[in-house]
Amino acid sequence: MASASPAGASGAGKAAAARRVVGAIDKVVDRIGRAAAWLTLAIALLMAVDVLLRYGFSIGSVWAQELEWHLLSPLVLLGMTYALQKGDHVRVDVFYARYSPRTQAAVDLVAALLAIAFAFFVVRYSIAYVGQSYAINEVSADPGGLTHRWLLKALIPVGFALFAVQAFAQAIDALLRLGGATAPQHPAGQA
């Protein structure tokens, strides 16, 4: 009975380790995405109450209106990573579906690398923006508005860092598929 070569076993071990890394990232992003999805319900309820109070009882609240977009920001900034993971992002599937699995993996790799570069660019330049907001303890310019605006702005680098991590996982997956590993683990790699 022939045994597997050490190089082949090493390659299979590295691929398995890479799949575990991708799986761990996917699990974290999935949990964050599902938690962020609950913000949709909170926003809808808040808007309904705000409209009811404003038009039914002529009671308006600046903080309630601001809270709507304060909740929308984390929904978008965390939800974009969840959408990327699930393959619900913008992609020209008319062309992508016609590509061979190897070409799809190459497209996924290039897209992931571009996403990582863009995310790092946003993270790098948004940190000073958040720092400035923190330094001046930025609050709403409207009377009765929300305070601690830097917390909301801090979600920009956090959201894009998470996006970069998910894109990294997709780059690993694409590399594994290019190297001849088994079927794709990511929805982005599927037609």
pLDDT by position in tens, the chain (length 191): 444 555 556 667 788 888 888 888 989 888 988 888 888 898 899 888 888 888 888 887 777 778 888 888 888 888 888 888 887 766 667 777 888 889 889 999 999 999 999 999 999 999 999 999 999 988 887 777 778 888 889 999 999 999 999 999 999 999 998 887 655 555 544 43
> In angstroms, how far is the first alpha carbon of the chain from the final one?
40
Closest to 32 in 3D by CA, of 63, 67, 75: 75
Rounded Cα gap, residues 168 and 99, in angstroms? 22
- Please tell me the distance from the alpha carbon of residue 169 to that of residue 184, in angstroms, as a whole number: 12
The four Cα atoms 11, 13, 16, 20 give a dihedral, to 10 degrees, of -130
Contact, 104 vs 96, CB < 8 A? yes
Amino acid at 11: G
